[in-house]
Structure 1
């Protein structure tokens, strides 16, 4: 729960975040499995979540307080956390098995989509959710890092009108999907194999794939590694490889700088990403969105309180395991993943908002100019939040 205090000129001067959580043995075992914790580490989590002192745990286990404190410190490091408060927040977020609500511009409340877990052959969890008519045409959706799968009532209505069942799948380390190894080009093939296993489980032979912003690279990877399972690909404000090429000069300066830091100085990149996410979780998410989403259309869209709330809840779910999944995806985006476009056999359509300031329409148009099977269309009166500004157009491409 957040409380904001403003001074006389309506400037934010303080914010308080209160965390509440309770212990549940069933949830605790899932948490233990997902985080790969030892029984001792789970005892430490229980102690901290229940608000007890480590001294009491040390006495119960017959260990020194110093030993237990060292184990707690090592646990925080293992989970890429900086404090016990962050550990409580992580545990509480893990317990939220439904996506938070959002709303359309009329103020209606969105329904929650239950998070489902598909267990892969090697025991890892693959997290996904469904929205739309259960008998509708299936479409895979890889969501963005910002906003996740926030859906307004209008968007849900569009899914039913278009008879599309949206199957949202989280990438490794995001949501409740287990990590699948260090970031590298082979990550794309690994994740595609996981998705193929999920499609088998859902009895889906082939379907369209939607990639949103950074997840466009995973959508294109599906067409590259599993072409028989993909009818076509739609990239909504999708990124393109920023490694090299004439299109790079048309990317925003901040995107070029971000990619360069991720490639050449990974430790600094990790520090910057963790710092940014910690700031967002400290209650400065509104400030971040206002500074990052610069177009007039985006500024208008993000003023909706319910959409901001949906983004905030989605962020909590995306980073439920730690910040590493977020960083993992950015590191993949900075790689040279142009080979995913070599000899494509499936149609790939990029829909780019005319006010997208990151991967601009010009950059995408130049990138796909000499690539067969790649198509490009500028969407007017849309920015980075194109998904929420013209959802009907996106679904029309999915159905085509």
Structure 2
């Protein structure tokens, strides 16, 4: 039971705040974690399920986490005459009426005169088009780039159209590397580009607005810039110059390819890495990273002569009904066996990472004739009791607690996370998720890896977020029956910093089922398959000398 009515009221308000703005999910997480640990989420008298269900419905109806959600609203054009007087109402200037001049504060203090002259020149036909910067966000004073061009069909009239910018995959890593930006500086740049709310960023970080503003000032000084407008212009120009390839994950790295197979009546995408003649490895992928591999990981597998076969797990990138829980894992194992038959592969080594663990064990259990052995690089462990659950890191523990105690809250949580990813706020989410796992936090903070993870999650969740909710529901139950009576060798590798499976949980799980656990690997966590690929390759190839 909640001790104070105000505590319940604050929580309910926070729930609906997430429905309004998924970015506020991180402000709700501490309260959820506290209440989950206290058992309140399991208390029917608290009646929280209703509010989570309502908030989930509102968020779904908003389209923020839907497959077709867009990141930018329709352009808010501003139409001026040659005197810089507003000609028609504009949603971008709610306090300015037609016939009024644009307020002085709309123009940037450091270049307002120059931008006024540019607009007049375009109006008079002396210049075809140009880019200027305007401030339209009230006290945040976030400058927005606008394209200036003559309004079709109206003489001596110009249209100012906002240019949406975002921290995209291709230019982000290059920009961060070329200008030596820290993780905090990248977060501030993304905030300036996409939301423009330094106040909300400060709230999510649990720090003061003054601190974030000082960080912005230091960033501007580091880049020898005088304003946010110049920062946006710098990134905008850099992005256009360095936008060298289309959006999406690289598909031509070291013989990588993709196929689609009809398995058990379901169209399943499969990623392939390495030469077709390589020794086959069936990869049961995690959600973080999905069926994709960073380039350096692919290179390590290829150098070892391996052929990675990575079928997309249930509900990843598709909407077909594929069941739930243990039956879902077993049915996917059956489809994997069918895939190998189509490919003409007689036997494979199974490789699993975190959330792929249950699926790999289901394959080994039900299709031992096709499986030489199983290597689990960063395991997920069956959670039988609340005491087991309490041993997980907060990032992993909270969604599982919600799945066990209040599924409606779990669905809202996942929907909000996906909405944050689609809005480009994945960096903030990953920073918080891995806050108590230094090795994973440092790995995910690398610009190239961060963009790799974001791209993978966008592709996995492109048709919805059921892949995440089904994984949470599976791992929130005791699924240890999938680990019973496995006839092939199973080896578990875990990083010292793995908060999904600590040493006690891994050792206990292995002892119950006759699996082998190797000595914990330093400087690694739940991203072990990427962090120490060489160690994983050694196990896939043969025994590792301990």
Structure 2 Cα separation of the partners of residues 298 and 284 of structure 1: 18
The within-5 A match list for 1:182-221 is 182-221=323-362
| Equivalent residue in structure 2 for 1:383, among 508, 525, 529 | 525
Change in CA separation of 1:240 and 1:163 when aligned onto 2, cut-off 3 Å:
same
Query: So what's the TM-score if we normalise by structure 2?
Result: 0.53
RMSD over aligned Cα, in angstroms?
3.1
Structure 2 Cα separation of the partners of residues 121 and 258 of structure 1: 31
Alignment pair present for 1:359 and 2:501: yes
Alignment pair present for 1:159 and 2:139: no
Q: Which has the larger radius of gyration?
A: 2
| Equivalent residue in structure 1 for 2:378, among 224, 227, 237 | 237
Structure 1 Cα separation of the partners of residues 516 and 388 of structure 2: 15
Change in CA separation of 1:103 and 1:254 when aligned onto 2, cut-off 3 Å:
closer
Structure 1 position 254, deviation (Å): 5.4
Query: So what's the TM-score if we normalise by structure 1?
Result: 0.70
The structure with higher relative contact order (CA 8 Å, sep 6+) is: 1
Contact 1:248/1:363, CA 8 A, preserved across alignment: no
* 2:110 aligned residue: none
| Equivalent residue in structure 1 for 2:422, among 272, 281, 301 | 281
Structure 2 Cα separation of the partners of residues 299 and 265 of structure 1: 28
**Which segments of 5 or more consecutive residues in structure 1 lack a partner in the other structure?**
1-76, 91-99
Contact 1:347/1:375, CA 8 A, preserved across alignment: no
* 1:88 aligned residue: 68
Alpha-carbon displacement from aligned partner over 1:192-213 (angstroms, at most 9, x marks no partner): 1111110100111111111111
* 1:126 aligned residue: 268
**Which segments of 5 or more consecutive residues in structure 2 lack a partner in the other structure?**
1-56, 71-168, 179-248
| Equivalent residue in structure 2 for 1:259, among 378, 390, 400 | 400
Greater mean alpha carbon deviation, residues 251-260 or residues 81-90:
81-90
Structure 1 position 85, deviation (Å): 8.8
Change in CA separation of 1:85 and 1:250 when aligned onto 2, cut-off 3 Å:
closer
**Number of equivalences:** 313
Change in CA separation of 1:392 and 1:84 when aligned onto 2, cut-off 3 Å:
closer
Alpha-carbon displacement from aligned partner over 1:191-240 (angstroms, at most 9, x marks no partner): 11111110100111111111111111101111111111111111111101
3-state DSSP of counterpart to 2:380 = coil
Structure 1 position 358, deviation (Å): 2.7
Structure 2 Cα separation of the partners of residues 298 and 203 of structure 1: 37
* 1:174 aligned residue: 316
* 2:462 aligned residue: 320
Structure 2 Cα separation of the partners of residues 213 and 136 of structure 1: 25
Structure 1 Cα separation of the partners of residues 289 and 67 of structure 2: 23
| Equivalent residue in structure 2 for 1:335, among 465, 468, 477 | 477
Contact 1:345/1:373, CA 8 A, preserved across alignment: no
Alignment pair present for 1:311 and 2:423: no
| Equivalent residue in structure 2 for 1:116, among 241, 256, 259 | 259
Structure 1 position 367, deviation (Å): 2.2
